[in-house]
Structure 1
Amino acid sequence: MDHIPSVILGLCSYTHDSAAALLVDGDLVGFVEEERLSEDKHTKAYPRHAVAWLLKEAGLTASDVDAVAYNFEPARYLVESPVALRLALSATTRERALPRAHGFAKVALRTQHRVRTLGRLFPSARVTPVLHHRAHQMAAFAASGWAESAVLVVDSLGERQTTTIGHGHTALRPRTHIVEALHDPASLGYVYGAVTEHLGWRRGDEEGTVMALAALGDPKRFRHLFARAVRTTPTGFFVDPAYFPPRTLSSGYARTSRRFIAETCPARHPEEPVGDVQQDLAAALQERTEQVMLHLARRARMITGSRRLCVGGGVATNCVSIGRIIEAGIFDEVFVPPAPGDAGTALGAAVALHMDGGNRRPVSGIARACYLGPSFADEALDLTPWPGLQQKMLGIETAEFLADQLAHGMIVGLFQGRVEAGPRALGNRSILASPLQPGVVGRLNATVKYREPFRPFAPMVLAERAREFFTLGQEAPYMSMASGVTDTARERVPAIIHANGTSRLQTVTAAQNPFMHAVLTAFARRTGVPVLINTSLNVKGKPICGTPAMALDCLADSGLDALMLESRWITK
């Protein structure tokens, strides 16, 4: 590059999960997903609300941006077009050859157009496309704060790559480089999304529902099918097109084959009941996903020699797979960033461009940070649009007050501090409940979250007491790892244990979230249990509440008992 940029805007835009991050002189100003401000879940729109907040926070305008880092490289798609024509050589894939070649070429041109559009929005900036998996890798490695680690990225598709193993290090300057890569159609994320859709849930949104359903099924019925459909190889895995035809990047092409349907079950309509066959199919899919992720983790350990692993990409949100990798003891420690999916590539692209621009020092403000979005602590609150709500100001002992309400069985929304990064509520935009209350899981699913009755709820626990209840053996600050549980957990807090005997826990330290640490401490003092149920402040189908108005809507339209909004206690 011609000069070292001092103001870098990282963007994920026009695909899904739009987000923005801003670096000024190597310092992270912030990061936020557009859906938290626009109320449009998984939005692909240009993240205008997120960008406006970041520039205002830094006291800058669009003309002050030196460089824009975009999370896809258009030219990389073009490489796939001639390769796709080889599919014509096989009878199984012949009909997909031309549509696939055309689809990848079309997306390359569309992505190039998006890059030019961004250039017009920031007249003083140079827009630089960043390889998608490199953005994932940088987001994961930079957030870890480690000096060195293996980096495994597994998603549906980034240009042509679906799985990469990289090596991150801070020698000379923080960076990652890709050691090994798998290309589409070998895509674990594609397979999981295809089966999610087949089972009647939204691909790209409700894979977590399928992961939860898997605990109720028996994988034995479809185990051999998935062993054939997703076969491991010495360097990764292979997806059999007889079961999952190659993607075309065009609508109208099925993601599962007639053979897959014949050997499993017909596609389920979202309104149809869930039966044993759907549970068993989900169980076999999840089992195979865990096996392949373990295989890839071992491969990463072997070819990098590292004793630590960072995991990124959409499949990294499969917390049960992450828990299996930890339990296998392949690495001394495993790290998943708070935003491992595509939204986080806005941050990773900005970090990559910062390093490529000649900066030798690491980005500050990203390592082990998750509360990176807007705060509304000083804003006045007008409840006129919500006539059924009333508020009172709380004193200084807000943590004690909240712990007392939870101990008495209230289900409370919590809105405090800066918005979390990523798909998990980490104590700033949460719904909290006591795990000791009878029927609390059923009540949360039926009257608060409005979601399937088999969905579990995650616990948050004081980090210093986690070993009393959970067997994970390492910190889990971002609710991204499923852990086994101890006998104490089974006896005292069975409500937080899923049907597969695990919990997706969040460990809380006083340094990470002082307020939630104080609430857990106060709750433990009252009940003897340093554990609370923590789920995101939203209802099914809506994004996590990023603004006070969204939180008030959630209170008014759900079965929440109350909302603590900063120092205000709001009830119906």
Structure 2
Amino acid sequence: MPVHSAPSVVLGLCAHTHDSAAALLVDGALVGFVEEERLSGIKHTKAFPELAVRWLLDLAGLGPGQVGAVAYNFSAAHYLPEVLGATRFALSSSTRQRALPRAKGFAKVAARTAWRTHDLRRRFPVSAVRPVLHHRAHQAYSFAASEHEEAAVLVVDSLGERQTTTIAQARRDPRGMPVLRPRHALRDPASLGYVYGAVTEHLGWRRGDEEGTVMALAATGDPARFRNLFARALPLVEHGFRVDPAWFPPRVLASGQPRVTARFTGATCAPRCPAEPIGQVHRDLAAALQERTEQVMLHLARSARALTGARHLCLGGGVAANCVAAGRIAESEIFESVFVPPAPGDAGTAIGAAVSVASTSPRSVLSGVRGACYLGPDWDEPVLDTTDWPGLRVSRPTGEPAAFLAAELAAGGVVGLFQGRVEAGPRALGNRSILASPLIPGVVDRLNATVKFREPFRPFAPVVTAERAAEYFTLGQEAPFMSFASHATDRARAEIPAVIHANGTARVQTVTARQNPFLHAVLEEFGARTGVPVLINTSLNTKGRPICGTPRMALECLAGSGLDALLLEGWWVTK
């Protein structure tokens, strides 16, 4: 008969919601973390992370009966106050029609979350299932992944139970576990993530997936056209902001409910169909949205500094993935440094929930989380079966691999790189990347049109050795997880204009030899050949697909795109 294990084995889950993921802590040590999409091939999957959990338990040599606690990243009980609270919207004629549907929606999600918790108890019958407040999971991960002993933590997303924005003061206890002191919170409908998602959908892209496309589009527009609208729609208040229901109606947790009002549509434009050409009005609307987002985020950062007195800031939540806003905060010098973890969105709360629960066990000492991003499965000796792609050819590269790859890139090749453990989060950080030279004419157009199959206005990120980053970018701090859009130096504008976006910034990744020895070596070899230690780095996938987590996914990406070749764990695969 199975027995309870010690509670030092904690499985953290983001499950039955977008970006399903799992993390495992044993005595506080992070065994691993992976998003289910990297193994299933289904982007933003909501499915229970079966493959991720199986891999983690196998890696640790454990069975389901040895999991002492399952940490879940939502708490059903914290939805319930809004069931009654929604009645306040009945007091105003502008929101009255939303009051009852809103109450029903929160009740339905509370019941659904309770069912999901019950489902976890069924899957792990000998484990303690412990719901964790969503923003607390964000806070725990964002701080635990940093190198700081003390920091302010600002989490901004669409919705976690009722919270949308939280500020906490964090420190580490003697075991390295985060100790979080809440300082301020905003509740729905004051939601920056909700507004950004609503406009993303209005502009014809998928809410919850393509906000980054709108951020890129914003650089091509003029924010002045709709600046006053967003100032009225998102007014600033002490330590926060409001959302005016005249422009964005209160959230209803049900599909099919509009997220912008008729007044908003009348003052801007009709909803854009995805196939419709992008007009200047769409560019200007995106620009004004992005500008106001940056203003709100800077205001929140100043509030975090005032409320905590901390010298360092950790950012979390989906809005923290807005690299332009994060870059504005980093370059504002409100804080001495700004940190964004590699997985700031909901997937990362699997780690945060596990850390929160593990911190209650006296025997758990936190390790493996600080500065970690390569946390998923690896394939040291893959068996490459190209039967399904008869046009692919497999060989071993000649000479030292880093020098070989650098030479191929310097000659104009666009190459996929598959090595080591899968990255955490939405950015490819050199283990599941597509690399290209920024010095080749037309490389951005080629990447967008024939490799990534995405909009021509979207930029590509540069990766540079940390030692030489200041020659090209003004950020003033390391950016190992590609979290910040930095302004470019005169040298960058002269030598590598291909990686500089229309707003004069680039979402830079800095790499040290300790962080990623092979990628660092490739950059040095490329710099020796060209004089520029900078490469284009984009994720190993095509539009609508997740980053390739398995060799098979990588081979499929090579065969189905304009990639020239793939370096897969020492194998050179060409067409």
Give TM-score scaled by structure 2 length: 0.98
Name 1:502's counterpart in structure 2.
505
Q: 1:287 Cα deviation (Å)?
A: 0.0
Name 1:554's counterpart in structure 2.
557
Asked if structure 2 preserves the Cα contact closer than 8 Å seen for 1:4 and 1:357, the reply is no
CA deviation digits over 1:85-108, x for unaligned, max 9? Answer: 110000010000000011101110
- The one-letter code of the counterpart of 1:286 is Q
1:371 aligns with 2:374: yes
Aligned equivalents of 1:49 and 1:69: distance in 2?
17
CA deviation digits over 1:508-548, x for unaligned, max 9? Answer: 00000000000000000000000000000000000000000
Aligned equivalents of 2:385 and 2:185: distance in 1?
53
Asked if structure 2 preserves the Cα contact closer than 8 Å seen for 1:134 and 1:178, the reply is no
- The one-letter code of the counterpart of 2:153 is V
1:233 aligns with 2:233: no
1:291 aligns with 2:295: yes
Q: 1:394 Cα deviation (Å)?
A: 2.9
Q: 1:377 Cα deviation (Å)?
A: 1.3
Q: Which residue of the other structure, out of 302, 305, 310, is the alignment partner of 1:306?
A: 310
Aligned equivalents of 1:355 and 1:26: distance in 2?
8
Name 1:139's counterpart in structure 2.
141
Name 2:162's counterpart in structure 1.
160
Asked if structure 2 preserves the Cα contact closer than 8 Å seen for 1:174 and 1:360, the reply is no
Asked if structure 1 preserves the Cα contact closer than 8 Å seen for 2:416 and 2:565, the reply is yes
Name 1:41's counterpart in structure 2.
43
Name 2:272's counterpart in structure 1.
268
Aligned equivalents of 1:231 and 1:3: distance in 2?
51
Change (3 A) 1:86 1:262: same
- Structure 1 residues 17-56: aligned runs within 5 Å: 17-56=19-58
Query: Which runs of 4 or more aligned residues in structure 1 lie more than 2 Å from their structure 2 counterparts after TM superposition?
Result: 171-174, 356-361
- The one-letter code of the counterpart of 1:330 is I
Q: 1:416 Cα deviation (Å)?
A: 0.4
1:88 aligns with 2:112: no
- Structure 1 residues 191-206: aligned runs within 5 Å: 191-206=195-210
1:540 aligns with 2:548: no
Q: 1:64 Cα deviation (Å)?
A: 1.0
Q: Which residue of the other structure, out of 329, 336, 347, is the alignment partner of 2:333?
A: 329
CA deviation digits over 1:96-134, x for unaligned, max 9? Answer: 000001110111011001001011111210100000000
Asked if structure 1 preserves the Cα contact closer than 8 Å seen for 2:72 and 2:117, the reply is yes
Name 1:465's counterpart in structure 2.
468
- The one-letter code of the counterpart of 2:264 is F
- Structure 1 residues 68-467: aligned runs within 5 Å: 68-172=70-174, 173-359=177-363, 361=365, 363-394=366-397, 397-467=400-470
Aligned equivalents of 1:565 and 1:357: distance in 2?
41
Q: 1:204 Cα deviation (Å)?
A: 0.3
Aligned equivalents of 1:489 and 1:515: distance in 2?
24
Aligned equivalents of 2:453 and 2:280: distance in 1?
22
- Structure 1 residues 52-71: aligned runs within 5 Å: 52-71=54-73
Asked if structure 2 preserves the Cα contact closer than 8 Å seen for 1:416 and 1:429, the reply is yes
Aligned equivalents of 1:149 and 1:552: distance in 2?
43
Aligned equivalents of 2:494 and 2:183: distance in 1?
46
Asked if structure 1 preserves the Cα contact closer than 8 Å seen for 2:382 and 2:551, the reply is no
Aligned equivalents of 2:82 and 2:393: distance in 1?
58
- The one-letter code of the counterpart of 2:378 is S
- The one-letter code of the counterpart of 1:471 is T
Q: SS at the partner of 2:126? A: coil
Aligned equivalents of 2:388 and 2:54: distance in 1?
25
Aligned equivalents of 2:211 and 2:363: distance in 1?
38
Q: 1:386 Cα deviation (Å)?
A: 1.4
Q: SS at the partner of 1:558? A: coil
Q: 1:4 Cα deviation (Å)?
A: 5.9
1:483 aligns with 2:486: yes
- The one-letter code of the counterpart of 1:382 is D
- The one-letter code of the counterpart of 1:76 is H
Name 1:14's counterpart in structure 2.
16
Runs of 5+ in structure 2 lacking a partner?
none
Runs of 5+ in structure 1 lacking a partner?
none
Q: SS at the partner of 2:85? A: helix
Asked if structure 2 preserves the Cα contact closer than 8 Å seen for 1:192 and 1:207, the reply is yes
Asked if structure 2 preserves the Cα contact closer than 8 Å seen for 1:323 and 1:482, the reply is yes
Q: 1:381 Cα deviation (Å)?
A: 1.5
Q: SS at the partner of 1:9? A: strand
Change (3 A) 1:249 1:286: same
Asked if structure 2 preserves the Cα contact closer than 8 Å seen for 1:395 and 1:567, the reply is no
Q: SS at the partner of 1:144? A: coil
Asked if structure 2 preserves the Cα contact closer than 8 Å seen for 1:4 and 1:359, the reply is no
Name 1:522's counterpart in structure 2.
525
Q: 1:177 Cα deviation (Å)?
A: 2.5
Aligned equivalents of 1:43 and 1:202: distance in 2?
14
CA deviation digits over 1:149-196, x for unaligned, max 9? Answer: 000000000000000001110145532222110000000000000000
Aligned equivalents of 2:476 and 2:297: distance in 1?
20
Q: SS at the partner of 1:108? A: helix
Aligned equivalents of 2:94 and 2:487: distance in 1?
42
Aligned equivalents of 1:183 and 1:52: distance in 2?
36
Asked if structure 2 preserves the Cα contact closer than 8 Å seen for 1:3 and 1:357, the reply is no
Asked if structure 1 preserves the Cα contact closer than 8 Å seen for 2:343 and 2:425, the reply is yes
- The one-letter code of the counterpart of 1:40 is I
Aligned equivalents of 1:256 and 1:358: distance in 2?
49
Q: SS at the partner of 1:75? A: helix
Aligned equivalents of 2:492 and 2:277: distance in 1?
32
Change (3 A) 1:55 1:396: farther
CA deviation digits over 1:264-285, x for unaligned, max 9? Answer: 0000000000000000000000
Q: 1:3 Cα deviation (Å)?
A: 9.3
CA deviation digits over 1:192-233, x for unaligned, max 9? Answer: 000000000000000000000000000000000000000100
Aligned length: 570
Q: 1:385 Cα deviation (Å)?
A: 1.6
Q: 1:356 Cα deviation (Å)?
A: 2.4
